[in-house]
A and B are shown apart, each in its own frame.
Chain A
Amino acid sequence: MDAVLFLVFAAIAVVCAINLVLQTHPIASALSLIGVMGSLAFVYLQLGGEFIAAAQLVVYAGAIMVLFVFVIMLLNEGKERKVKMKLWGRWAGAPLLACFLALMAFIVQRVLPPQESVRFGAFTGGDAQSIGTRLFTAYLLPFEVTSVLILIAIVGAIVLARKEID
């Protein structure tokens, strides 16, 4: 049952990701991205990362993508225009992609320690309580620095917007 559900959501995520690149309409691409994020949230939920799943759904699929869609609708962008690709770009694309993927696979295999195969239900430390404890003990400094970073981003946005109004 777990494996079937995992395959279903993983397939949805992959199909949406491919669709995101293939679609020429910005709204269709944004909706595909929401599909990717939503199905990833369910994969996290299956693997025991409950809080991460909820955060993925609330923050990424909910708040951030609503802003994306809002901006796309406000600008009312039409279909993107096809640009004629250069000849070498058309031929070199696929081999370069294959090289990149191979390099990634190699590095991941080298850097990450060898692990046992992932099993459903084996991981239990994903509830809100344990994440909160880790966040405020082991990872306090990165957490606080991130919040300062976000504050700087907000102040920057306000400064830019004010310049526009003046």
Chain B
Amino acid sequence: MPYIVLSLIKLLIVVLILMHALAYLQWVERKVIAHVQLRVGPRRVGPHGLLQPLADVIKLVTKEGLIPSHVNTPFYFLAPFLAVLFALIPMCLIPYGGDINVFGIHTTMQVTDVSIGVLLVLGLSGLGVYGVALAGWASNNKYALMGGLRSSAQMISYELPMALAIAAPLLMLNTLSFRHMVDAQTGFYFGFIPKWSIFQGPFPQIFSFILFSIAGFAETNRVPFDLPEAENELVAGFHTEYSSMTFAAFFMAEYANMMTVSFVATLLFLGGWQPLWPVQYGSSLLAPLIFGATALICFSHAVRPARPFDRITLPVFGVIFLGLAGLFLIPAGQQILMPLFWFLGKAGIILFIFIWVRATLPRFRYDQLMSFAWTFMFPAALINLFITGFLVAVS
């Protein structure tokens, strides 16, 4: 099959899944935060609020796009476009799994493998700040401008510790391509400790992982570093003047950036799609076990329903989960789905931590944010890099 057709098919799959994942990530976030705060979250639209993202999308699309009279129109429309563009391009560079054979075609579960993948993702996500900064400036609104300026200052400051935190595992893995990075983390110490970067000798990269995650929170403008849109100081920050689809674009960009950060963290530190324990001890049975258990829980709750509609919805979910468990047991399905399961599972845990932190921590003050970056993060990342470099050179 010609390269270009194959690439287009892969792009289509990635885009379709990504767009749904973005919408449903927001549903997950609302549900998780609601449960942390002892509420139920969205549950009116569809069973357990599952159609809420669809309703939100319809609302945002059909809403009138209001253009305030005082904005700088060309830049006002360029800003959300740039934000979405630089949030979505990195998704093409992420490998979601190893090599697969589908209908006799041998391919990789990645749109394209660039030999400088991690640098390119770093560069492209750094460009994402132009969307936010430009939105703040073009709005001709002092709150929006403050948000945009804060965002660019924050981005410049936290890019340094982030780059240094990425450099340390790169010294050990000795490659810049995501695919080779995961290959360098294959295998187990003593037959059961995985050789992921955070466990790998000579210097386990656990500090690097923590620094990268903190810088990732700041780069994606998430709580506790969401100063650019701090609503009790700046109305809504850089997107104060945006509504309908232009607002949705910033929303999408934020969630896409979150996903990129967690994917990169998974590939750099958590071994990509490598399993937690060897296959001969049954690591490939974990997925059907989890889905099967979920199906059983659904069925048992359907027998004693807490709410009247649970009698209908929970058996349906149970059957869906049983079907998923079955798919994982077929050899052809297992070959494609097991790497995906591990990869998305690890990335999903990081995404869950993103949401968990949002529900738990209050926001930093602006001077705290800056002094934290320059007096703690930067020296810590530098020391970590020195120790790693020294130990890699010695061993």
A contacts, CB < 8 Å to B: 1, 27-28, 31, 34, 38, 41, 50-51, 53-55, 57-58, 61-63, 66-67, 69-70, 73-74, 76, 127-128
Of all chain A residues, which has the CB nearest B152? Answer: A70
What 4 A-B pairs are tightest by C-beta distance, nearest first? A57-B123, A54-B119, A62-B126, A58-B123
| Contact (Cβ within 8 A) B126 A70 | no
Complex CA–CA separation, A113 to B130 (angstroms): 41
Complex CA–CA separation, A41 to B176 (angstroms): 17
Which residues of chain B from 130 to 185 have a CB within 8 Å of any chain A CB? 130, 133-134, 136-137, 145, 148-149, 152-153, 155-156, 159, 163, 176
If A50-B115, A50-B116, A58-B123 touch, whether A63 touches B148 (CB-CB below 8 Å) is no
Is B295 in the interface zone, CB < 8 Å from A?
no
Task: Show 13 residue pairs from A and B whose CB-CB distance is below 8 angstroms, ordered by the A residue.
Answer: A27-B137, A31-B78, A31-B134, A38-B127, A50-B116, A53-B120, A54-B119, A54-B122, A54-B123, A57-B123, A58-B126, A70-B156, A73-B149
Which residue of B127, B148, B176 contacts A73 across the interface (Cβ within 8 Å)? B148
B339 to chain A, nearest CB (A): 26
| Contact (Cβ within 8 A) A73 B123 | no
Q: Which residues of A lie under 8 Å from residue B148 when comparing CB positions? A: 73
Of all chain A residues, which has the CB nearest B176? Answer: A128
If A73-B137, A73-B149 touch, whether A67 touches B156 (CB-CB below 8 Å) is yes
Which residue of A54, A63, A66, A69 contacts B120 across the interface (Cβ within 8 Å)? A54
Of all chain B residues, which has the CB nearest A72? Answer: B137
If A27-B75, A69-B130, A70-B152 touch, whether A51 touches B116 (CB-CB below 8 Å) is yes
Is B92 in the interface zone, CB < 8 Å from A?
no
Q: Which residues of A lie under 8 Å from residue B124 when comparing CB positions? A: 57
Of all chain A residues, which has the CB nearest B119? Answer: A54
Q: Which residues of B lie under 8 Å from residue A34 when comparing CB positions? A: 127, 130
If A69-B133, A73-B149 touch, whether A63 touches B156 (CB-CB below 8 Å) is yes
**Tally of A-B Cβ pairs under 8 angstroms:** 76
Number of chain B residues close to chain A: CB under 8 A: 29
| Contact (Cβ within 8 A) A128 B116 | yes
Is B88 in the interface zone, CB < 8 Å from A?
no
Which residue of B75, B115, B163 contacts A127 across the interface (Cβ within 8 Å)? B115
Is B129 in the interface zone, CB < 8 Å from A?
yes
| Contact (Cβ within 8 A) A62 B159 | yes
Q: Which residues of A lie under 8 Å from residue B114 when comparing CB positions? A: 50
Which residue of A58, A61, A69, A76 contacts B119 across the interface (Cβ within 8 Å)? A58
Q: Which residues of A lie under 8 Å from residue B156 when comparing CB positions? A: 63, 66-67, 70
Q: Which residues of A lie under 8 Å from residue B149 when comparing CB positions? A: 70, 73-74
Of all chain A residues, which has the CB nearest B124? Answer: A57
| Contact (Cβ within 8 A) B159 A63 | yes
Complex CA–CA separation, A67 to B160 (angstroms): 14
Complex CA–CA separation, A102 to B148 (angstroms): 44
| Contact (Cβ within 8 A) B116 A54 | yes
Complex CA–CA separation, A70 to B134 (angstroms): 10
| Contact (Cβ within 8 A) A57 B120 | yes
Which residue of B116, B129, B163 contacts A66 across the interface (Cβ within 8 Å)? B129
Of all chain A residues, which has the CB nearest B78? Answer: A31
Q: Which residues of B lie under 8 Å from residue A38 when comparing CB positions? A: 127
